[in-house]
Amino acid sequence: GTSDRTPGPGAGGGGRGGAGRESRPSDPLRGAQGRPGARGPEERSSALSRIGAAASRSPPHRPPMSRRGDGVYIPDDSDFRSFQEQCESPDGWQSQFSQGGVTVWSQSPQDETCTVQKIKMRISCRDVAAETLYDMLHDIHYRPKWDSHMIDTFDIGRLTANADVGYYSWRCPSPLKNRDFVTLRSWLPLGQDYIIVNYSVKHPKHPPRKDFVRAVSLQTGYLVKASGGGGCVLYYLSQVDPRGSLPKWVVNKVSQLMAPKALKKIYKAGLKYPEWKRKHSPGYKPWLFPEQSTLPTLSLAELALQHADSLEAIDESGVAEERAPQSADPKEEPREA
């Protein structure tokens, strides 16, 4: 499984990919200033600088997300850099799959109290600029064109200019039950690189639902790195507890078959995104321009950390491998705009 409000790859993961999912206003493409037009590079650069400055003012000296304690907090520079190091470092990772430009690694838990392995994927995206892919991952209105596992996603509220809380649900291969998440997501530009990360939290108005298994993202996200020739490299890293006592072959199938296909779909969708965005509110980017957001403000006091062991265990360990389809995704290519 995957995740980010970033999930995307494979069976969905932690869910939401980026900011921009509003609480279903009557016109989600209309910000406080009406329907914004395209903005230039200088405005983008200024917006990124403001977001970076705001993030650097977060309280320092906390452990990275993968080793945090019981408190809910907004990730700061050290968390983002730790995530970037995990993506780029080969140390401790075992190669599981490398084909068609996609590489998949896994890492066994380093903490004996955790039994969930990490999955990391990498793909080179020629002819897709890093800022283009970053915008695409954030753009809720374009997401259905590449994330066909998604059932529903929406933002619950905004914490800061670069952090929010939202809901994401995704379709699992039959006969498994569908999963959902509530996650705190944050995003940050680091020079020419861009990072989106999330982890699971509890919100009192969005408890577990009977028609879904509530999965837990311990740490999930994307790193988008600029590369030569106007392209970029996309990393996807996820440590998700899917709950439900999934048999090992299910996890292997997701990481080795479904997830690489999903990563390729993101790349192909990125090639088509600039043309689509030019026709669909090109200046509407609340992940860059927070004043466009219409989300209600949340406080950290309203949230609690989502512990996997507090959720009901759904036994799916008896699922027979021969009954499993190759993918829950009926489409292998992004839909045309």
- All structural domains of the chain with their residue ranges: 77-104+119-287+296-307
Least confident of 125-129, 242-246, 315-319: 315-319
What proportion of the chain, given as a percentage, has pLDDT over 90?
52
User: Encoding tokens for residue 218?
Assistant: 């311990």
**pLDDT higher than threshold 70 for residue 315:** no
pLDDT of residue 224 exceeding 60, the answer is: yes
Q: Is the pLDDT of residue 8 over 60?
A: no
Q: Give me the pLDDT at residue 188, please.
A: 95
Sorting pLDDT into bands at 50, 70 and 90, what band is 184? Answer: very high
Average pLDDT, the chain: 79
pLDDT band at residue 25 under the 50/70/90 scheme = very low
Q: Considering the entire predicted model, what is its pTM? A: 0.79
Long-range contacts (CB closer than 8 Å, 24 or more residues apart) made by 34-39: 35/281, 35/284, 36/281, 36/283, 36/284, 36/289, 36/292, 37/282, 37/283, 38/278, 38/282, 38/283, 39/282, 39/283, 39/285, 39/289
Mean pLDDT of 10-38: 46
CA dihedral 248, 180, 264, 275 (to 10 degrees): 180
pLDDT at 310: 73
Distance, C-alpha 172 to centroid of its chain: 17
pLDDT bucket at 54, cuts 50 / 70 / 90: low
Question: How confident is the model over 152-178, as a mean pLDDT?
Answer: 91
Q: pLDDT grade, residue 71 (50/70/90)?
A: confident
Q: Quick check: 312 pLDDT over 90?
A: no
Alpha-carbon separation of residue 198 from 57, 195, 256, 322 (angstroms): 19, 10, 23, 34
CATH code: domain 77-104+119-287+296-307 is 3.30.530.20
